[in-house]
Amino acid sequence: MSTGVLASAISIIIVCIGVLGLILKRNLLLKLLSLNIVNTATILFFVLVVYSPGDRAPIDPSPGVQYADPLPQALVLTSIVINFGVLALSLLFTMVLVKRYHTLDLIKIEDFVRREFEEEKS
């Protein structure tokens, strides 16, 4: 088994760990951390899978030289930025919820939310 396959298998295992944390943890902050683990491991996997070795960076085009594929870098940078945005936004939302209910326990929060919605309309 080559190193690349082993590394991508490990990154998939990290994704699975993140998903398990996302499902099993009741704490909202831990859920967000697990989500971040999933996202980071996804990027790791993407880099490992798409990576194509070349002799040179694709800057100076001259014939006969094998260049590295420039596309994956652009894609990975974009998705890192998007994940950063998602994390910032979800932390903001968590902050609002914690300020309102003083708990991070998701099941309690869901309870409060349902009750509040019912009460507000009556």
Point out which residues bind other proteins (CB under 8 A): 12, 15, 19, 22-23, 28, 31-32, 35, 38-39, 42-43, 45-46, 49-50, 70-72, 75, 78-79, 82-83, 85-86, 89-90, 93-94, 96-97, 100-101, 106-107, 109-110, 112-114, 116-117, 120-121
For residue 80, give every residue at least 6 positions away whose Cβ sits within 8 Å of its Cβ, in sequence order, or none: 43
Structure tokens at 83: 């994940």
Helix (H, G, I), strand (E, B) or coil at 52: coil
Distance from C-alpha of 34 to C-alpha of 29, rounded to nearest angstrom: 9
Nearest CB to other proteins, comparing residues 49 and 57: 49
Nearest residue (CB) to other proteins, 17 versus 101: 101
Q: Rounded CA gap, 47 and 69, in Å?
A: 11
Smallest distance from other proteins to CB 27, Å: 12
